[in-house]
Structure 1
Amino acid sequence: MDIASFEFLLQLIEPKITKQNTRMRQSVTARERLIATLRYLATGRTYADMKFTCAISPQLLGKIIPETCKELFMALKDDFIKFPSTTEDWLEVARGFANTWNFEHCLGAMDGKHIAIKQPPHSGSYYFNYKSYYSIVLFAVVNANYEYLYIHTGTNGRVSDGGVIQETDFYDKLENGLLNLPPPSILRNSQIVAPYVFIGDDAFQLSDHVMKPYRKDINTPRNERIFNYRLCRARRTVENAFGITACRFRVLLSTISLENVNNIDYVVMACCALHNFLRRNSSNYMTIQCMDHENHNHTVTPGEWRQEQSHQLHGLLNRGRNCEERAKVIRKLFTEYYNNEGQVAFQSQFI
């Protein structure tokens, strides 16, 4: 983060986090509060460790940091995590995936990650996940530029696979047709009419507006492997968004030890909002080396964030789920398209 970005953030939230001095002592300034919060998010260090560099007691840091995270998120969310609200907004997202990742009619890549937390008081096994630790789940929809369009956090880690998305208002609006999605239209350079879809992995249920790969085995037909490659190439955007956010804000790679789950939510949401903010305003935040990138032959070089395998955020548990026949027909339309009119020259060498 450069100085200009820091000063912008400070100006944005200073009125909300400034406290009055008293006769007994001077308050911690807004600048010091923001510095301490950003240091915590970037390093994941404990309050007891940070007291030496911030000269602020752990008890006071426990109040300052959640409050500042909340104000950061509230100040940034409207401009930097702007969920599409109109048909034209969605079409702009779709154009990004079509032009950058050669996947037509894609409205976003979605995924969920488990974030390790200390067991909340009196919670029993409510937050205990399939990896045998306590967690909350961050669900996100990401655009073609690695930016979060939608985030939802706080779902208990015990919920797995498709149950995570069902905890969100995004799912409710999608199921009830309240997202103002574009109507089905013709795929480019073809006569195939297909709906606009979100893409995910096998943790999600295939539906009219959610596409996922075919199951992989040695007998998977070539045309299905082509579809899987095209979808997974576009879906890497959400994997990279999660990975880069966690490597820049390393609190997400540690076990967050806040007792109040609502405060944990604000920490996580502040990281996502800052990711989008820095993605647009800092040339040093995301270098070509830190994300998966393709050379002129479209061979992928893994991003630096993938090197930290022992500390990765864990994904949702992949389980096959039943789906309606109509959803399978829609996936077959996309499969035929990517094997014919919508094919790209390099796809055969990666299956």
Structure 2
Amino acid sequence: MNRKKTIGIACAALCLVTTLKAWKEKRRQLRKVKAWWIRPGLRNRDRCGFYTTLRSKLEIQDPKWLKNFLRMKVEDFDYLVERLTPYICKKTTSFRKPISVGERLAVTLRYLATGDSFSSLMTVFLLGKTTICHIIHETCAALYAILKDEFLKIPSTTEEWVTVADRFEQRWNFPNCCGALDGKHIAIQAPAHCGSEYFNYKKFNSIVVMGMVDADYKFLFVEVGAYGRESDGGVFARCPLSAALADNSINFPAPRPLPHEADPMPFVIVADDAFPLKTYLLKPFSYREQVMSYKIFNYRLSRARNVVENVSGICASRFRILRRPMDVKPDYAKAIVLAICVLHNYLLTRKSVYMRRSDVDDDTNGVAVRGNWRTELGENGMLPSISPSSILGRPADNAINVRENFMEYFLTPHGEVGWQYNRTILHNSFL
């Protein structure tokens, strides 16, 4: 009797397991079944999509509108299509034609320029939301890969650094300056199980972009992806540029005398007070109880450093995806930001009517004019800077001496600018 019960229980258990496996297999098969191969509303893309209608008609009837849609000239767009083709072109199969490289680039540029949701882009380009998501991530990574070596290249020789420094002296009256450095927060949606790693002092989740620019508003170096909770000093200490400057593996120039001076002075990078003071990194004096000489130095440094503020403002104004939290993974957000940085340099180099003189701040002869991007973005739309670090410690004596020597130079007849005293009385900083 006991043996019969045992056999019966075993048979029942076996039947239950078999039934459960069959149910799971059926559920898996049903999950794979799609309602349609292509959504009905998207099947007319060949006749009504971007390439077949919008571009061909606008290029003839209203090229200005097309340039505004693409955020660049058609010639620059076609150049990118040609460069991207070996990387993102898909093969034609017996099932359907692939999405063209031009369409892939257009939907990516539109996403970066407007920050529209995938649902909105779906109605414009007649592509599925999942397809658009994959296209944008792939195209952004490809853009950075093909353009970085030509349009986002940090100087590697002494002569290239000296050229950058001469341009800073010519445009911003700051000799021996090889770049302006700053860090900005890029808002993202909080990743799952991230805790407080991305939660910054401004009370939102973000990743940090550390950028150095030249006197002509172009990026020289970009590092993206640090946690939003970190300070400028902490991010800079761990980025490759800090180590390269410390051991001079990037061929930073040897000290040379300032104009009309005899003693050699080191080449420097200008930054705000969130960074540590180094012999190669200048920051302003403390804004508490300043004497006139400190105020003048801070104004001159702020005037040179303001180029990096303008670059972040122009990028946020032109690529409005930066003005809202990115609902993507941090790695995808990093690829998007790197693509924006390299596109910024590309469009400036190609002179694609990307930035006008009125778009950036101007301080010619002491008359400060706010750039259009400040009016367009407002205070709430600007990318927030990183918070200062509270553990920087006391700078070395030689770094303090370098800053004081620059300060003294700006007070000499051949180092001053005529309007610096009036501007200093009005305000400590550039604007």
Normalised-by-shorter TM-score class: over 0.9
Q: Which residue, out of 85, 109, 112, partners 2:180?
A: 109
Deviation at 1:121, TM superposition (A): 2.3
Q: Which residue, out of 395, 398, 418, partners 1:323?
A: 395
Aligned equivalents of 1:177 and 1:14: distance in 2?
38
The percent of aligned pairs where both chains have the same amino acid is 38
- Structure 1 residue 347 corresponds to structure 2 residue 417: no
Structure 1 segments (4+ residues) deviating >6 Å = none
The letter of the residue matching 1:280 is T
Which ranges in structure 2 are unaligned for 5 or more consecutive residues? 1-71, 425-431
The letter of the residue matching 1:245 is C
Q: Is the contact between residue 192 and residue 333 of structure 1 (CA under 8 Å) also seen in structure 2? A: no
TM-score (ref. length: structure 2): 0.79
- Structure 1 residue 67 corresponds to structure 2 residue 138: yes
- The residue aligned with 2:383 is 313
**Larger RCO of the pair (alpha carbons < 8 Å, separation 6+):** 1
Instruction: Find the structure with the greater CA-based Rg.
Output: 2
Which ranges in structure 1 are unaligned for 5 or more consecutive residues? none
Deviation at 1:178, TM superposition (A): 1.3
- The residue aligned with 1:228 is 298
Q: Count the aligned residue pairs.
A: 348
Deviation at 1:326, TM superposition (A): 1.4
User: Tell me, what secondary structure is at the counterpart of 2:182?
Assistant: strand
User: Tell me, what secondary structure is at the counterpart of 2:93?
Assistant: coil
Aligned equivalents of 1:10 and 1:118: distance in 2?
31
- Structure 1 residue 139 corresponds to structure 2 residue 219: no
For residues 296-322 of structure 1, the C-alpha deviation after alignment (integer angstroms, 9 at most, x for no partner) is x33111111112121111101135632
Aligned equivalents of 1:288 and 1:31: distance in 2?
30
Q: Is the contact between residue 225 and residue 331 of structure 2 (CA under 8 Å) also seen in structure 1? A: yes
Aligned equivalents of 1:26 and 1:123: distance in 2?
40
Deviation at 1:228, TM superposition (A): 0.6
Q: Is the contact between residue 200 and residue 210 of structure 1 (CA under 8 Å) also seen in structure 2? A: yes
Aligned equivalents of 1:283 and 1:128: distance in 2?
37
Stretch deviating more after TM superposition (172-181 or 330-339) = 172-181
The letter of the residue matching 1:212 is K
Q: Is the contact between residue 143 and residue 149 of structure 1 (CA under 8 Å) also seen in structure 2? A: yes
For residues 152-189 of structure 1, the C-alpha deviation after alignment (integer angstroms, 9 at most, x for no partner) is 00011011130111221111111222121111111111
Deviation at 1:194, TM superposition (A): 1.0
Q: Is the contact between residue 155 and residue 167 of structure 1 (CA under 8 Å) also seen in structure 2? A: no
Q: Is the contact between residue 76 and residue 352 of structure 2 (CA under 8 Å) also seen in structure 1? A: no
- Counterparts in 2 of 1:17-36, with a 5 A limit? 17-36=88-107
Aligned equivalents of 1:335 and 1:294: distance in 2?
20
User: Tell me, what secondary structure is at the counterpart of 2:98?
Assistant: coil
- The residue aligned with 1:284 is 353
The letter of the residue matching 1:329 is N
- The residue aligned with 1:249 is 319
User: Tell me, what secondary structure is at the counterpart of 2:192?
Assistant: coil
Q: Is the contact between residue 187 and residue 326 of structure 2 (CA under 8 Å) also seen in structure 1? A: yes
Aligned equivalents of 1:338 and 1:90: distance in 2?
22
User: Tell me, what secondary structure is at the counterpart of 1:294?
Assistant: strand
Deviation at 1:280, TM superposition (A): 1.5
- The residue aligned with 1:170 is 241
Q: Is the contact between residue 197 and residue 209 of structure 1 (CA under 8 Å) also seen in structure 2? A: yes
